[in-house]
Amino acid sequence: MALLSRSAHRVPAQATPTDATDVTSQTGTAGTVARFAAAATRFSLGWVFLWAFLDKTFGLGYATKAEDAWLDGGSPTYGFLNFAATGPFEDFYKSIAGDAWADWLFMIGLAGIGIALIAGIAMRIAAAAGTLLLVMMWTAVLPPENNPFMDDHIIYALVLVLLAAIGAGRFAGLGTAWEKLPIVQRYPILK
């Protein structure tokens, strides 16, 4: 009887989302949904970055007119930084609007972040670079138009951090194979 009473008071160890357990590694419906949502979010956000690169490069007529395409001599930073910049950093952003170095860094960032997210590789670097780019874009339009401080740039930055933290490149991406590369194992920042 004493044996029974001792075991009756024990609570079995179970993984719950409130534990430090990675919900994306769980089996069952919750784990499957989490992995699918992480992959879909990663693809979607990657496409946002890659599309911006393609539209600005080729002037596909969405945010960038054909005559303003980067390939035709247009500047991918001039319009936004020169005409949309407001707030405490307005002078800084207007001073770099259209500079070749700013155009190149911006476009390399858009392409690199987009490709990395879609492929599921270098998630930490993509998240860091994307967060920096998004926070800079947020500071260019302070205060945001529809809220005292919050806008989509901050939300996207937080999503990037989350995707990198959970290793979302492993879900329907090349992240697992990428992480097995010797250079990535040697330098974990490349994960």
Q: Give the integer Cα–Cα distance in Å for 43 and 115.
A: 9
Residue 152 placed within a domain: yes
Answer yes or no: is pLDDT of 163 > 70.
yes
Any domain includes 29: no
Q: Which residue has the higher pLDDT, 189 or 8?
A: 189
Mean pLDDT for 124-151 is 95
Q: Are 185 and 131 in contact (CB under 8 A)?
A: no
Q: Which domain holds residue 149?
A: 43-190
Q: What is the mean pLDDT of the chain?
A: 89
Question: What's residue 24's pLDDT?
Answer: 63
Residue 71 domain flag? yes
In a domain, 132, yes or no: yes
pLDDT of residue 167: 94
Number of structural domains found in the chain: 1
Does residue 38 fall inside a structural domain? no
Give pTM, 2 decimals: 0.85
The model's confidence at residue 34, banded by pLDDT at 50, 70 and 90, is very high
Residue 13 counted as domain residue? no
Residue 81 lies in a domain: yes
Say how many CA atoms lie within 13 Å of 119 toward its Cβ: 15
Tell me how far apart the alpha carbons of residues 116 and 1 are, in angstroms, rounded to a whole number: 61
Is residue 164 one of the residues assigned to a domain? yes
Q: Is the pLDDT of residue 19 over 60?
A: no
Mean pLDDT of 137-159: 95
Q: CB atoms < 10 A from the CB of 83, how many? A: 10
